[in-house]
Each structure stands twice: as structure tokens, then as C-alpha cells.
Amino acid sequence: MGLQIIKPDTNYNIIGLRKIAFVLSGILILIGLASLVIKGGPKYGIDFAGGIVVQAKFQESVDVSEIKDALAPLNLPGLAVQRFGDAEANEYLMRTSQGTIKAEDVRNQVKEALTQGLDGKAFEIQRLEMVGPKVGADLRSKALEALFYAVLLIAIYISGRFEQRWMTAGIMAAGLAAGIYVLQLLSMPMTYLIVAAMIITVGLCWYLKLNYALGAVVALIHDITITVGIFSLLDKDFDLTIVAALLTILGYSLNDTIIVFDRIRENLHAKTAKTLGDTINISINQTLSRTLLTSGTTLIVILALYFFGGGVIHDFAFALLIGVVVGTYSSIYVASPILLGFSGSKGAGSEGAPATANAS
């Protein structure tokens, strides 16, 4: 018998706590969205906003303020200096939104300013990366498209796997394509277009009664929104590594959700309980030990990356840390309760709804 941290006969009333969970999720999402609105969107890194990043290694420790003072005469727009990697490594990153001059000119100007402003402290410029504003905007659009298409394909897959409604899922995709085409005719910016596409996807899932897909998609949007909101609250850069982390979170959260949905489908076929609410409750309790063990071991690895992985993957690990916690929570308290809320022709939304969720 495998390791069990939850007793087999445990019966926590997960569904009974769904309203509290919805309120908690709503508060977290609203705080994150408020931060994004107040700050005018995510704080884009060099990858998306365009600009220059310079990595320098000193032979001795230097205060960040000293480097800023040395570079002040250059009047670099949006200059940010931070220590990079271990404290003993004496490595620093210098970022600026300046992207209109040649990289070699920037290297020479920074080198000269640091030499003159730091009293001859020895250093070496190890890396210089430059991203133009147009390249940054294109990367931002492509990243948003990647997130959106990942969610859309997940919706189609969930509908086909759990409800055997591939045709309906195809209709949903066609409806979404038509909606996107109309919005593109209005010359809507890519960011708003992706948000509108997400809303259309959720609306179509609801209208076409793709209840499993609706639960999974809402949970994924919930996870992404909370992670981006926390990054906005902490004023952390949003770059390509964070997009990679978000795509990883989508996969992780979906895996947990599918495990629970699979057990719900099995219990529906076995008629384990009379009502759908009881069936979902039993299913979540049966998979709870596995969910917690998987999340716990994953978190151990991510914490190791976060504390010992170095500055390059620090924010990536932090995004995963948030995503795994939120994804585990959403697979238990968001996806399945939404499935309950939108299933059943009569009494939908109540724990007493008939034990059916169109599972095949």
C-alpha cells in the first residue's frame, strides 16, 4: 500500500466550503487586478518592453547605490540596478529602457562611467543584451497568444475526453474564431483581444454546456490571474521566463484537475452517491492524499530552485511557487465546485443536484 497522508475513510466537506473559497479567490483576483489597473499593467521586463541589460562582475563588493551614482551622468531612462546571484559573486545587472543606440556604444559608455565613478574598482562586463521596442511588443503578443491557445486547446481536450463532445468543442472553436475575426476588424490591441477571447471561451463553454471544460478553464484563468496579480503587487518584472512559468503552471494545474475529474467520472458510472455534490465530495477526498503528496514533493524541488538556483531563475521559481500552491487549491476548491454549479438540468448549483455531469 502506498503512502497515505489522508486516511482512506476521510470525508471532508469540500463542496460545503465552496462559497468561502469563491469569496477568497474573488478577493485575491480583485486585489491583483486593482494593482494591474493602478500600475497600468504588468511591469514588463527587457524582453517585452525593449531596452538593454548589462551584467557586470566586480572583484570586490560594491553597493548598488554606488553603481547608480556612477551611471547617473549617462541619464539612462528607467535605469534599474540589482545584485545578481550569490553575494560573494559580486555580480550586478543594470537595466535600462534605452533601446535606440547601438549595443557597442552602450557597452563603452557604461564601462567608462563605471571606471570613472567607482575609483578604479576592477570589473568585467560579462553580458550585454539589447531588445528593440518592436521586438519586445512582438514577443509580448506571441506570449499572450501562446497562453490563450494553450487554454483553448485544453478546453477542447477536456470536452472530448470527459464528455465525448468533440463536435460541440469544434463548434466552440469555430465560434471563438468568428468572434476573434470580428474583434480584429475593430483594430483592438492584442492585450484586450486576448482578454476578450478568454471571456468568449468561457461564455461559449457555458452556453454549450461544456461543464468539465468550463470548470477547468475557469480554474486555469484563476491561477494565471492570481500569479500575475501577485507579481504586480510585488513590482516584479514580467518577462519570457515568467511566461514559461505560467505555461508550466497551466500544465501542472490541469494535471491535478484531470485526476479529480477522472475520479468523478468513475464514481458517476459506479453511482457511488445519489447526488452530484456528494459524488464530487467523495472524489476529491479519494484523490486528496495523492494531490497533497504530489504538490508537496513538487514544492520541495521548487523551493530548492528558489533558494539555491541563483538569480537567473529566481523569479521563474517564485512564479512556479505561487502557481503550484494556487493550482493545487483551484483543482480542489474551484474546478470541481464550478462543475457542480453548472451541471444538472434541475437543481443545478445545489448539492442536491442529480448525480450527472454528462460524463461518458
283 lies in some domain: yes
Higher pLDDT, 356 or 101: 101
Write out the residue range of the structural domain in which residue 213 sits. Answer: 14-43+135-341
> Could you give the CA distance from residue 336 to residue 341 in angstroms, rounded to a whole number?
9
333 lies in some domain: yes
The answer to whether 79 and 96 have CB atoms below 8 angstroms apart is yes
Number of domains observed in the structure of the chain: 2
DSSP for 64-119 reads HHHHHHHHGGG--TT-EEEEES-GGGTEEEEEE---SS-HHHHHHHHHHHHHHHTT
Per-residue pLDDT tens digits for 156-197: 888 777 777 788 888 888 887 787 778 777 777 766 777 788
pLDDT of residue 31: 94
Higher pLDDT, 1 or 274: 274
Q: Within this chain, do residues 145 and 19 fall inside the same structural domain, yes or no? A: yes
356 lies in some domain: no
pLDDT of residue 350: 46
Cβ partners under 8 Å of residue 90, min gap 6: 57, 58, 59, 60, 61, 62
Residue 70: give its domain's CATH number: 3.30.70.100
Quote the radius of gyration of the chain (alpha carbons, Å): 24
6 lies in some domain: no
pLDDT of residue 345: 43
Q: Within this chain, do residues 270 and 306 fall inside the same structural domain, yes or no? A: yes
> Could you give the CA distance from residue 284 to residue 35 in angstroms, rounded to a whole number?
33
**Is the model's pTM score more than 0.85?**
no
Mean pLDDT to the nearest integer, 236-262: 85
Q: Rank 4-13, 21-30, 110-119, 245-254 by mean pLDDT and report only the highest.
A: 21-30
Q: Within this chain, do residues 321 and 302 fall inside the same structural domain, yes or no? A: yes
pLDDT of residue 347: 40
pLDDT of residue 98: 65
pLDDT of residue 149: 79
pLDDT at 46 over 80: no
Residue linked to cell 486528496: 288
